[in-house]
């Protein structure tokens, strides 16, 4: 198949028997659920755009494994140009959906696991790379959406996995069999879980010798026996049940997160990509984190483009577009957004080849990219809220707007400039609310802080990779200091 259409993707998810819970009830069909369907639509966009000739160069690639045309979300980066196109693709999808489109985590996991398994095999003579290449061919040829699962609940953060009072606070192997292993635990904050065909599990931190059971990487179908997910809540999520597109803000697209529980899940040997080799857990984590921190220089920028456009529109609708302070705020929003994009492009352009042959970004610049992401979207959102005004959060509902008695008063008192309907004014205000405060805030504001690691994680990596001693030597040489 190599490339699925959006409709084929929807049908493939319908056929799966995932165990999904939300609001204390089992969800029989996530595809038809009004809260979850917008997140499915966002993933569908990654398939739809790959079918369009005008986006072919960004959305598709030639597989290094099979020579076939594949969706770029299943690609193993072969050069810096691939890394750059990845960021451009993510910006495009952010512009098209104004939400999280969820396939980035799997793509970043593919590239991290590919190179790590190669180096693990080189040292230990294992067959993880062979397993993973076989798996990647399956993913590419079937055009699968794969959820990358790294974050464990972690329990007491001061203790290592093997020292936790509850050993399941980090996902672990509980039984090793001749034909595979049995795992137990959970993965938190699983973006796009109910919209994925498979889950690719990785360790969440560097591990010591006592943590052998936690040094596990594998993939299984999302509907494998023993896996179930509990859907996370988002602000304003139940508005989607009310039947008002206006009140939702972005009625077509959205994101979702889940706590994914692994209750004694069997993993066959040919799906194992790490199994006890603790010294390579840190490498896998670091490489995945680097790729994912690069990703944010694309996806968050695309959503930022929509938010800047919405802020400019509401300034027009309010009659404030000529005010110098409004112009300056839009300039500042653009400056911040393009700075984020520059970081994503820079770490891609400075990429290098791994021993396995795929390309990795410049890790220092990727961490700088994500460190900026933890700050700039907050300022962009603040400025958008400033320009929008208080009506963004005090506007009445669509039911009030349609009410025979109340509607005329809303039309009278919430009118802005001539030629713009009150309904259109409310629509753009709701879109700003959705991105900055509502369901899309998970994929923009909050995810900017905690996705791909919270701010301190990047600062640690910047400290490690910043080469302060090398910079000291530069200063000594210029100052003619001999010792």
Distance CA 299, CA 89 (A): 8
Distance CA 462, CA 451 (A): 17
If one counts every other C-beta atom within 10 angstroms of the C-beta of residue 324, the result is 7
Distance CA 86, CA 108 (A): 10
- Those residues with Cβ within 8 angstroms of residue 59's Cβ, 6 or more apart along the chain or in another chain: 46, 49, 50, 52, 71, 72, 89, 92
Judge contact between 113 and 79, C-beta under 8 A.
no
DSSP states of 363-425 as a string? Answer: HHHHHHHHHHHTTHHHHHHHHHHHHH-THHHHPPPHHHHH-TTTHHHHHHHT--STTS-HHHH
Token reading at 52 = 């369009």
The upper half-sphere exposure of residue 408, i.e. CA atoms within 13 Å in the direction of its Cβ, equals 2
Please tell me whether 354 is known to bind a ligand. no
Distance CA 425, CA 316 (A): 10
Distance CA 49, CA 89 (A): 10
Distance CA 85, CA 433 (A): 30
Which ranges constitute the DSSP H helices of 98-145? 104-124, 128-142
Residue with tokens 């000529």: 322
Active-site positions read 100, 104, 191, 257, 292, 296, 299, 447
- Those residues with Cβ within 8 angstroms of residue 359's Cβ, 6 or more apart along the chain or in another chain: 77, 78, 79, 80, 82, 83, 351, 352, 353
Distance CA 482, CA 473 (A): 10
Q: Residue 298 — φ and ψ, nearest 5°?
A: -115, -60
Token reading at 197 = 């065909």
Please give the annotated binding residues, written as ranges: 191
Please give the annotated binding residues for FAD, written as ranges: 191
């Amino acid at each position: 198949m190599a490339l699925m259409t959006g409709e084929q993707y929807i049908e493939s998810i319908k056929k799966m028997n995932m165990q999904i819970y939300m609001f204390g009830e089992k969800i029989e069909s996530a595809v038809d659920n009004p809260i979850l369907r917008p997140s499915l639509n966002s993933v569908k966009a990654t398939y739809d755009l790959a079918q369009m000739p005008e986006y072919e160069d960004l959305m598709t690639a030639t597989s290094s494994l099979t020579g076939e045309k594949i969706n770029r979300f299943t690609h193993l980066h072969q050069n810096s140009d691939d890394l750059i196109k990845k960021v451009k693709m993510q910006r495009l999808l952010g512009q098209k959906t104004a939400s999280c489109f969820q396939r980035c985590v799997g793509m970043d996991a593919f590239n991290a696991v590919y190179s790590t398994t190669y180096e693990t095999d080189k040292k230990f003579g294992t067959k993880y790379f062979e397993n993973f290449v076989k798996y990647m061919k399956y993913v590419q040829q079937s055009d699968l959406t794969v959820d990358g699962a790294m974050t464990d609940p972690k329990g007491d953060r001061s203790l290592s996995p093997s020292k936790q009072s509850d050993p399941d606070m980090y996902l672990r192997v509980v039984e090793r069999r001749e034909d595979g292993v049995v795992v137990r635990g959970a993965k938190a904050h699983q973006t796009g879980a109910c919209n994925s065909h498979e889950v690719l599990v990785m360790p969440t931190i560097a591990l010591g010798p006592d943590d052998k059971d936690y040094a596990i990487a594998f993939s299984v179908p999302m509907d494998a026996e023993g896996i179930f997910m509990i859907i996370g809540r988002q602000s304003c999520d139940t508005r989607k049940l009310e039947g008002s597109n206006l009140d939702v803000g972005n009625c077509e697209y959205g994101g979702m997160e889940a706590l994914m529980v692994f209750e004694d899940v069997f993993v066959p040997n040919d799906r194992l990509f790490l199994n006890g080799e603790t010294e390579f857990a840190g490498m896998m984590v670091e490489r995945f984190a680097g790729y994912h921190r690069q990703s944010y220089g694309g996806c968050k920028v695309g959503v930022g483009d929509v938010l800047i456009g919405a802020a400019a529109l509401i300034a027009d609708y309010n009659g404030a577009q000529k005010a110098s302070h409004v112009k300056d705020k839009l300039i500042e929003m653009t400056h911040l957004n393009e700075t984020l994009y520059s970081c994503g492009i820079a770490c891609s352009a400075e990429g290098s080849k791994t021993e396995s042959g795929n390309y990795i970004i410049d890790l220092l610049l990727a961490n700088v990219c994500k460190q900026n992401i933890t700050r700039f979207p907050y300022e962009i959102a603040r400025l958008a809220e400033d320009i929008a005004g208080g009506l963004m959060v005090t506007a009445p509902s669509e039911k009030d707007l349609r009410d025979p008695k109340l509607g005329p008063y809303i039309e009278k008192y919430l009118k802005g400039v001539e030629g713009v309907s009150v309904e259109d004014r409310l629509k753009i205000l709701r879109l700003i609310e959705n991105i900055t405060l509502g369901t899309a805030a998970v994929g923009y504001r909050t995810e900017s802080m905690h996705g791909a690691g919270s701010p301190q994680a990047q600062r640690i990596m910047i400290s490690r990779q910043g080469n302060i001693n090398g910079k000291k030597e530069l200063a000594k040489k210029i100052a003619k200091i001999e010792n």
